[in-house]
Amino acid sequence: MARTESYMLPLNTKAPHFSLTNGVDQSLITLDQVKGVKGTLVIFMCNHCPYVLHLVDKIVEVSHEIKAWGINTLAICSNDIENYTDDRPDLMKKLATEKSFGFPYLFDPTQEVALAYEAACTPDFYLFDEDLKLVYRGRFDDARPKNDNPVTGQDLMEACKKLSEGMAQKTKQIPSMGCGIKWKAGNEPKRFSI
């Protein structure tokens, strides 16, 4: 599967609002309902991507740790489930249950939310402050499925720590990398087309 880097949405972008169904319990959830006191981490991911599966245990661990800092996490699956059936909502629930997600795992069936966030890959990480302004978008760490680097979440954790302590973020942020979002025919953003 082709590697895709995140587009790197401009810093200070206001988080686009949404109302999506939680794949775990079918409840309708809005961004305002899940935003954290200090910040909100939005992750675009899916059930089958090897890049996501390589990091998912540590993502869950990090989400618990940053919650204590006032930063809430939510994940969104925007893949086309007609052509990529491994990403359908019943399997979202299975993954979230097996991995003990402590955060909502939302389904974006129209892909409008992924388009609004200019998401490009899975996983794609967006960290917003208490005013829902983007302070970090980039990689989790330098671990990949085919390298021996340990999965630490170091890059994201550093950004979350800085946010929780009111410190300035690094201006140079390294893009996330993973499988490209599986766009429905006609939905692929022009910037990602070849």
Q: Give me 160's structure tokens.
A: 């979350």
Helix locations, the chain, DSSP H: 31-34, 50-67, 89-98, 112-117, 154-164
- How confident is the prediction along the chain (194 residues), in pLDDT tens digits per residue? 468 999 999 999 999 999 999 999 999 999 999 999 999 999 999 999 999 999 999 999 999 999 999 999 999 999 999 999 999 999 999 999 999 999 999 999 999 999 999 999 999 999 999 999 999 999 999 999 989 899 999 999 999 999 999 999 998 999 999 999 999 988 888 654 43
What tokens were used for 91? 């399997």
> 68 to each of 28, 30, 36, 72, how far by Cα in Å?
25, 21, 10, 9
Res 2: pLDDT: 61
pLDDT of residue 1: 47
What pLDDT shows up at residue 146? 87
CATH class of segment(s) 3-192: alpha beta
What is the per-residue pLDDT for 188? Answer: 81
pLDDT attached to residue 193: 42
pLDDT at residue 172, as a whole number: 92
